[in-house]
Amino acid sequence: MDISPLQKARYSYQPKLPAVLRGNVDSIGIELGKPTEAVDDRAELRNIFKLSYGAPIATFVAKPNRGNRRPLVVGVILSGGQAPGGHNVIAGLFDGLKKGNPGSRLVGFSGGPSGLVDDLNVEITAELVEGYRNTGGFDIIGSGRTKIETPEQFEKALRTAKRHGLDAVVVIGGDDSNTNAALLAEFFKSRGEAISVIGAPKTIDGDLKNEYIEASFGFDTATKTYAELVGNIERDANSARKYWHFVKLMGRSASHITLEVALQTRPNVALVSEEIEAKGMTLTQVVDAVCDPIVRRADRGFNFGVVLVPEGLVEFVPEFKTLIAELNDLLAREAAAYAALSDDGARTAFVSGRLAPAARAVYDSLPGDIRRQLIMDRDPHGNVQVSRIETEKLLISMVENRLAAMKAAGTYRGTWSAQNHFFGYEGRCAFPSNFDADYCYSLGFAAFVLIANGLSGYLSSVRNLTAPAAEWVAGGIPLTMMMNLEKRHGEEKPVIRKALVGLDAAPFGVFAAARDEWAVETCYRYPGAIQYFGPDEVCNAVTETLRLESLKK
Amino acid sequence: MDISPLQKARYSYQPKLPAVLRGNVDSIGIELGKPTEAVDDRAELRNIFKLSYGAPIATFVAKPNRGNRRPLVVGVILSGGQAPGGHNVIAGLFDGLKKGNPGSRLVGFSGGPSGLVDDLNVEITAELVEGYRNTGGFDIIGSGRTKIETPEQFEKALRTAKRHGLDAVVVIGGDDSNTNAALLAEFFKSRGEAISVIGAPKTIDGDLKNEYIEASFGFDTATKTYAELVGNIERDANSARKYWHFVKLMGRSASHITLEVALQTRPNVALVSEEIEAKGMTLTQVVDAVCDPIVRRADRGFNFGVVLVPEGLVEFVPEFKTLIAELNDLLAREAAAYAALSDDGARTAFVSGRLAPAARAVYDSLPGDIRRQLIMDRDPHGNVQVSRIETEKLLISMVENRLAAMKAAGTYRGTWSAQNHFFGYEGRCAFPSNFDADYCYSLGFAAFVLIANGLSGYLSSVRNLTAPAAEWVAGGIPLTMMMNLEKRHGEEKPVIRKALVGLDAAPFGVFAAARDEWAVETCYRYPGAIQYFGPDEVCNAVTETLRLESLKK
């Protein structure tokens, strides 16, 4: 069978919408709140977004509204890394447009924002959408990371929009992409063009989150997929009783994914980068924190366990951050001499000899493979590719060395054997969970309503997510409201402020209270594979993060 | 919640039994066939199994049988690597025993066969079993790899069995463990002890398979779990269009797992070790076979793809096998001189200089990491640990080098970037699929019936697996019938013959016919996560391997 049985069955799944979006489109009205302010740097942002700063929050309510029926032509872009549910944002947007007016059209721009710049378009028809409903991936029109940044790119985007007679452009992306959407909205306004720009909050990383965005789509599905795998590994560890499994998890900078998976699976150790940075921990102290449970469990005869490691870890260890900065400087400064070297041994020695003492101490303490990776794997700018560093292997190596020393000193009496894993691509394109399928469909439909009512510079918003879908609150949040200035490549730029793990917030609090027991005991919890059918508590649960964050309200 | 919602929901799942095992136990009778012969080496095996050779096949039929009600005390062992469903073999055995006579008892021996030798026991009670029904893992009593081999171990096992008044021992394991079970059965018989030994066919590798064993349990769940992940990676590859993903899959020697996952997900390339060996391919030719689709797809603008690599690959490439044998000899012979060397560069040079020309050519062609792994990662016998070789990285490296040469020559015009993955532990302890849950429960129940009727030296058997469970045929297969002699550590030993991928059989045939299209086109199929609920075709499907093998009958 060309299409798997599950994919075929999922085509029939009818995503759940908030009640306000379910009935006749003539009954979806908008209530606007008061003018808003940015998170920070208000004066500067008011200056950048002269025409769109301070727009009010929009909430959909049941009240008569003839405006939703005008015919529209809307463009849509998928931007940045994949996240489960992107196809449902498109499906919800498409269905909303057609419900409003069968003559409305949806045009996809391929390969990310550059598709809008270069006018690489594909008509989104009912037939095309059918094959992508409730599926993972971004392959309906593809994605890409090129943002619309230069004046020339903005002009070309406008020309494309006018060529197609677009009433709006929907950008489905993360924080950078939605910031881009805000700038595009401002640009169109500045040209007197009535072309709306609406964003949708995507990222599996879970860091596009604030008071108004309860969750970024894809986080639910990705973390549940990783939790399935970690649970299986835990069951294996507990059955074989032979290995310590180190599992690195995607998540870019913040540790939301690692924290969520830890809450679902209760591993022996889960490192949270934000805590490590807050405490100013050295690499040595991080290694100690991992070795402690290993030794204590060994004393009880448990020579096995599971450690979760967030992808961004090394960027949060101050001395490692310093080392990377020095390496980047050194390799740029001595590029010619370095290029003349012909083997790895000479290269690592060259580098070591030229680092400042503190950085050299850290560099020399690293395993050979990592020392090589740091100077060989560099990005097109010549900088160390931190994401390519096999952090889980780095930790295993350093833990191994520490345990060997402790064994010699008689303080560790266990037997040591490790396995390493890295999960990222395995979860980014899974079939969206019922939650993500519903959430994304609702975001797309809500985007239609915002567009139909002429709003621009808004993020499609669906909230109250821990309640049944019928009770979700839909509307739009002005993009400028979530912004501040941050330094990018030496310049102050407007960006939507991201959320790192809050060390004072409930999810981390629950984790911190339980982890000492999880470290020494074996408290594993096995979530199993994402289920799309079956009892409500099995197939419609939200993440622990969302559940715990909602409790305090 | 301590137990995940899925685990809780699965406790209520009632595994499906063959019709003959469903009713009153007084109606489960046995029909015995004619005496049987071994697969090969019949004279030798008749001599080894003097008392148990040639027993007839047993089939359960509906007919009166008072014998199933006698009270029994049965021991059970989990042996070797984990496989989903082991807990259900135990549950089915337990339920069968109790149904026959509430006074019957099941005693678990912990940590594998050594548990029977050292009498590490745990009473399997109704309360204990409740928490493990339909779960993955082997942690109810744990597993281990130590076999019962020496005369002393056989004596101690007998003493343990008598100490507990065992009527039988059930061994849930792979080919080695079931061979062990046959020898134990013979041993007990030779001592005039009425202690039955029954085996159950476990392994995710799928190679414990023959005319009488349609499938080894765990293969279904493990391959479906790996197929979920490979499908997700394919969707990501097709969305981002940036990477070639190389995925190594567990499976020890045979390529059944890789072939099954390929049939479910249709990757661009899947290497089948058995084919590589049959064609006597060199490492260079294997690399060529991978580069060809890469180049052809690049010519069409597709700089992305997915390659599946079976774990045992390098052992099937003749020149690599030779290299490993020479390395083992060399490192044993020159152990002292080698131990005196102090850095990796010196070690690899030392080795390279002392290999025969052909082996040296292969060794020198390998990436530095692999050259180091081959001589550093050695097992307690001092032999190269082939399973630790990162074969997927070896291939990526060699492909990279070939593409660079082709680029310089102008025959490759694509852009190259790779990601690597290894799946094994992620699938070994998943919650068993409905198929494995039913199959294993039935195997356990069937083991009870064999024991109740005094049979020994049998493998619990459930066949006709592509039909609904009610139509499954249950009984027992005499272990000696599936045996031949094979060389182990220089000695001829009796073993159950394993099945490598049959190049003339239907599963490989379907793959071979389709792979040229899969190589150049993008034909990905996305199975998604294992479902336990929902439409029959979604949650009760068998593997492609089983389905195709059953067609020809």
- Which tens digit of pLDDT belongs to each residue from B44-62? 999 999 999 999 999 999 9
Is the pLDDT reported for residue B489 higher than 80? no
Residue type, A258: T
The residue type found at B95 is D
Distance CA B496, CA B181 (A): 11
Number of Cβ atoms within 10 Å of the Cβ of A191? 11
Distance CA A363, CA A373 (A): 12
The whole-number average pLDDT for the span B27-44 is 97
* pLDDT computed for residue A104 by the predictor: 98
Confidence at residue B315, expressed as pLDDT on a 0 to 100 scale: 86
CATH of domain A314-389: 1.10.10.480
Residues 6+ apart with CB under 8 A from B199: B170, B171, B172, B173, B177, B178, B181, B182, B458, B459, B460, B479
**What is the band of B413 on the pLDDT scale with cuts at 50, 70, 90?**
very high
What is the spatial distance between Cα B38 and Cα B465, in angstroms, rounded to a whole number? 24
pLDDT in tens, A237-272: 999 999 999 999 998 789 999 999 999 999 999 999
Q: How far apart are the C-alpha atoms of A38 and A486, rounded to whole Å?
A: 13
Look up tokens 């769940």; give the residue: B221
At A335, is the pLDDT very low, low, confident or very high (cuts 50, 70, 90)?
confident
- Name every chain B residue with its beta carbon within 8 A of the beta carbon of A239: 82, 137-139, 142-143, 429
- State whether residue B149 is helix, strand or coil: coil
pLDDT tens digits for range B537-548? 999 999 999 999
**CA-based nearest distance A431→chain B, Å:** 6
Residue A258's pLDDT is 98
Restricting to B residues 46-85, those with a Cβ less than 8 Å away from any Cβ of A are: 81-82
**Strands B483-488 and B491-496: what pairing?**
antiparallel
Q: Comparing C-alpha atoms, which of B326, B383, B387, B384 is closest to residue B357?
A: B326
Any residues with CB less than 8 A from the CB of B367 and at least 6 apart, and which? B393, B394, B397, B398
Give the model confidence (pLDDT) of B390-400 as tens digits: 899 999 999 99
Q: What percent of chain B has pLDDT over 70?
A: 99
pLDDT tens figures, A308-317: 999 989 889 9
Residues 121-160 of B with CB under 8 A from A: 135-139, 142-143
Is the pLDDT score of A191 beyond 70?
A: yes
How confident is the model at residue B202, as a pLDDT?
96
Residue A362 vs residues A253, A346, A403: alpha-carbon distances, Å: 21, 18, 19
For residue B287, give the nearest of B274, B276, B301 by alpha carbon: B276
Q: Decide if B175 is catalytic.
A: no
**CB contact (8 A) between residue B529 and residue A233:** no
Question: Is residue B194 within 8 angstroms of chain A, CB to CB?
Answer: no
Assess A263–B contact: CB distance below 8 Å, yes or no.
Answer: no
CB atoms within 10 A of CB A358: 12
Q: How far does the CA of residue A250 sit from the closest CA of chain B (Å)?
A: 14
**Whether B90 contacts chain A with CB within 8 A:** no
Please report the pLDDT score of residue B552 as a whole number: 65
With tokens 């991201």, the residue in question is: A498
A168-173/A196-201 β-pairing: parallel
Q: Indicate if the pLDDT at residue A404 is higher than 80.
A: yes
Domain regions of chain A by residue span: 5-218+432-488, 225-311+390-428+500-531, 314-389
User: In residues, how long is chain B?
Assistant: 553
B1, pLDDT greater than 70 = no
Question: E-assigned strands of B33-102?
Answer: 58-62, 73-78
Provide the pLDDT for residue A552.
65
Longest dimension (CA), chain B: 80
CA distance A493 to A520: 46
Q: Could you give the C-alpha distances from A434 to A224, A527, B32, in angstroms and in order?
A: 12, 16, 52
Question: What does the pLDDT look like over A84-96, one tens digit per residue?
Answer: 999 999 999 999 9
- Tell which residue, A438, A431, A426, has the closest CA to residue A471: A438
Q: Which residues of B touch A541 (CB under 8 A)?
A: 5
Choice among B167, B175, B205, B207 that is catalytic? B205
CB contact, 8 Å: B491 with chain A? no
Across the interface, of A9, A229, A535, the residue whose CB is closest to B535 is A9
Give residue B211's pLDDT band: very low, low, confident or very high (50, 70, 90).
Answer: confident
Grouping H, G, I as helix, E, B as strand and the rest as coil, residue A495 is strand
What pLDDT is stored for residue A1 in this prediction?
58
User: Residue A388: is its pLDDT beyond 90?
Assistant: no
pLDDT of residue A253: 86
* C-alpha distances out from residue A193 to A105, A108, A162, A166, A480, Å: 19, 20, 9, 10, 19
Per-residue pLDDT averaged across A464-491, rounded? Answer: 94
How is residue A425 written in tokens? Answer: 């691509």
Question: Which structure tokens are listed for A155?
Answer: 């002009």
Q: Could you tell me if residue A24 is left (phi over 0), alpha (psi between -120 and 50 degrees) or otherwise beta?
A: beta
The CATH number that domain B5-218+432-488 falls under is 3.40.50.450
Q: What is the DSSP letter of A525?
A: -
Mean pLDDT of all residues in chain B? Answer: 95
Among B366, B550, B438, residue whose Cα is nearest residue B13: B438
Nearest to B137 among A229, A239, A531 (CB): A239
Question: How close, in Å, is residue B422 to chain A by CA atoms?
Answer: 8
Residue A345: band (very low, low, confident or very high) from pLDDT cuts 50, 70, 90? confident
What is the reported pLDDT for B321?
A: 86
Identical fold for domains B5-218+432-488 and B225-311+390-428+500-531, yes or no, is: yes
Per-residue pLDDT at B373: 83
Q: Given an 8 Å threshold on Cβ–Cβ distance, is B535 in contact with A235?
A: no
Q: Are strands A58-62 and A473-478 parallel, antiparallel or unpaired?
A: antiparallel
Sign of CA dihedral A37, A38, A40, A46: negative
What the block records as the tokens of B129 is 């079993």
Q: Taking Cα atoms as reference points, which of A219, A412, A395 lies closest to residue A306?
A: A395
Q: How far apart are CA B363 and CA B358, in angstroms?
A: 9
How many Cα atoms occupy the beta-carbon half-sphere of B436 within 13 Å? Answer: 35
Domain B225-311+390-428+500-531 has CATH 3.40.50.150: no
- Residue B368: pLDDT band by 50, 70, 90 thresholds? confident
How far apart (Å, rounded) are the C-alpha atoms in residues B423 and B309? 10
Are A82 and A71 in contact by the 8 Å Cβ rule? The answer is no
Inter-chain residue contact A231 with B4, CB threshold 8 Å:
yes
Q: Identify the band that residue B303 occupies on the pLDDT scale cut at 50, 70 and 90.
A: very high
B350-359 contacts, C-beta under 8 A, 24 or more apart: B351/B327, B351/B375, B354/B330, B355/B323, B355/B326, B355/B327, B355/B330, B356/B326, B358/B319, B358/B322, B359/B319, B359/B322, B359/B323, B359/B326, B359/B327
Mean pLDDT of B196-222: 95
First to last CA, chain B: 48
Sheet holding A58-62, edge to edge: A28-32, A58-62, A473-478, A458-463, A196-201, A168-173, A73-78, A105-109, A121-124
**Extended beta strands in B69-184, E state:** 73-78, 105-109, 121-124, 168-173
DSSP string, A185-242: HHHHHHTT---EEEEEEB-TT--S-SSS-S--BTHHHHHHHHHHHHHHHHHHHHHH--
Token pair listed for B503? 């190049």
Say how far apart CA A91 and CA A86 lie, in whole Å: 9
Residues near A429 by beta carbon (within 8 Å), at least 6 away in sequence: A82, A84, A136, A137, A138, B232, B233, B235, B236, B239
Which of A482, A469, A287, A270 is closest to A366 using CA atoms?
A287
Pairing of strands B196-201, B105-109: unpaired
Give the whole-angstrom CA distance, residue B355 versus residue B367: 17
Q: How does pLDDT run across A132-163, given as a tens digit for each residue?
A: 999 999 999 999 999 899 999 999 999 999 99
Give pLDDT, residue A179: 95
pLDDT at B385 over 80: no
**Chain B interface includes A529 (CB < 8 A):** yes
Compute CA B129 distance to the chain's CA centroid, rounded to the nearest angstrom.
Answer: 25
Strand, coil or helix: what is A32? strand
Instruction: Name which of A144, A121, A132 is nearest A94 in CA terms.
Output: A132
> Would the CA dihedral through A509, A515, A517, A521 be positive or negative?
positive
Interface test with A, best of B172, B347, B525, B526 (most A CBs within 10 A): B526
In this complex, do B229 and A426 lie within 8 Å of one another by their Cβ atoms? Answer: yes
A82 pLDDT exceeds 60?
A: yes
pLDDT in tens, A366-385: 888 888 888 876 777 778 87
Distances (CA, A) of A58 to A197, A458, B342: 15, 9, 69
Measured CA to CA, the distance from residue B81 to residue A242 in angstroms comes to 11
Task: Name the one residue in this structure whose structure tokens are 């463009």.
Answer: A75
d(CA A284, CA A537) in angstroms, rounded, equals 42
**Mean predicted confidence (pLDDT) in B491-510:** 94
| CA distances to A449, A477, B339 from A443, in Å | 10, 12, 64
pLDDT in tens, A98-128: 999 999 999 999 999 999 999 999 999 999 9
User: Average per-residue pLDDT in chain A?
Assistant: 95
pLDDT over 90 at B386, yes or no:
no
Confidence of residue B516 (pLDDT cuts 50, 70, 90): very high
Q: What is the ipTM of this complex?
A: 0.94
Looking at residue A553, what is its pLDDT? Answer: 57
Both ends of chain A: CA-CA distance in Å? Answer: 48
